[in-house]
Amino acid sequence: MAALRAAKQALRKEIKGRVAAVSDQEKLRQSRVVSLKLFSHPKYLSSQRVAVFLNMHDEVRTHDILQDIFKRGKACFIPRYFTQSSHMDMLRLRDMEEVKALPLTSWNIQQPADDDSDREEALATGGLDLILMPGLGFDKKGNRLGRGKGFYDTYLERCSTHPKGKPYTIALAFKEQLCAEVPVGEHDILIDEVLYEDEE
């Protein structure tokens, strides 16, 4: 267990270094490529209830994706993390105005306030069709290296008990986040697919 933790920590550090070396312009360019791939993806097109993250600086930019979800009339859900635990809810947003009005957390990401109890939580209602996943690193087998808090793994566990079942999961990645192999433990849940700019 300690060896796995150490391996993950070392890989996190390596990937953070690789991503930090990528210019903002290049991050934006890759984000556009990934977004366009998503917009023509059959799973995205057929999904009605989509969860998406609001990106941190070292993650694929999701602004265009949010706009597209609203434009197509899909139900949009974003994470609210509870920093004291590994608990996360997916709460509904109605439009870009609501996104802009969200408060900033100590991690410098926007999310609904802890006492914001008016929003629909995905699992309390119709579940989710698709979750767009953040992460630090990924391999092509669908193993994901998160930030070590376990929010998404815990949430996917909860999804599996929802009548709708586990949603399809697509990770959005810069190519610098791809690894030959991500070390995983028994609680790490495989993702269905990783979208990134491949050298075609």
Known binding site for substrate: residues?
Answer: 54, 59
Predicted pLDDT at 177: 97
CA 198 – CA 34 distance, rounded (Å): 10
pLDDT digits (tens, 9 = 90+) for 23-52: 999 999 999 999 999 999 999 999 999 999
pLDDT over 70 at 5, yes or no:
yes
The sign of the dihedral angle between the CA atoms of 163, 166, 168, 174 is positive
Specify whether the CB–CB gap between 12 and 137 falls below 8 A.
Answer: yes
Give the span between the Cα atoms of 66 and 50, in whole angstroms.
10
pLDDT value at position 187? Answer: 79
Q: Which residues line the annotated binding site for ATP?
A: 8-12, 144-152
The arithmetic mean of pLDDT across residues 13-24, rounded, is: 97
Quote the pLDDT of residue 197. Answer: 96
Which residues on adjacent β-strands are paired with residue 79?
90
Provide mean pLDDT across the span 154-165: 92
- Rounded to whole angstroms, how far apart are CA atoms 176 and 63? 20
Kindly state the percentage of the chain with pLDDT values over 90: 82
3-state SS track over the chain? CHHHHHHHHHHHHHHHHHHHCCCHHHHHHHHHHHHHHHHCCHHHHHCCEEECCCCCCCCCCCHHHHHHHHHCCCEEEEEEECCCCCCEEEEEECCHHHHHCCCECCCCCECCCCCCCCCCEHHHCCCCCEEEECCCEECCCCCEECCCCCHHHHHHHHHCCCCCCCCEEEEECCHHHECCCCCCCCCCCCCCEEECCCCC
Closest CA to 66 of 75, 14, 11: 75
pTM comes to 0.95
Q: How far is CA 95 from the centre of its chain?
A: 19
Q: Residue 1: CB partners within 8 Å, gap ≥ 6?
A: 185
Query: Do the bridges between strand 137-138 and strand 144-145 make them parallel or antiparallel, or are there none, so unpaired?
Result: antiparallel
Asked if 70 and 95 touch (Cβ cutoff 8 Å), the reply is yes
Q: Which residues are annotated as a binding site?
A: 8-12, 54, 59, 144-152
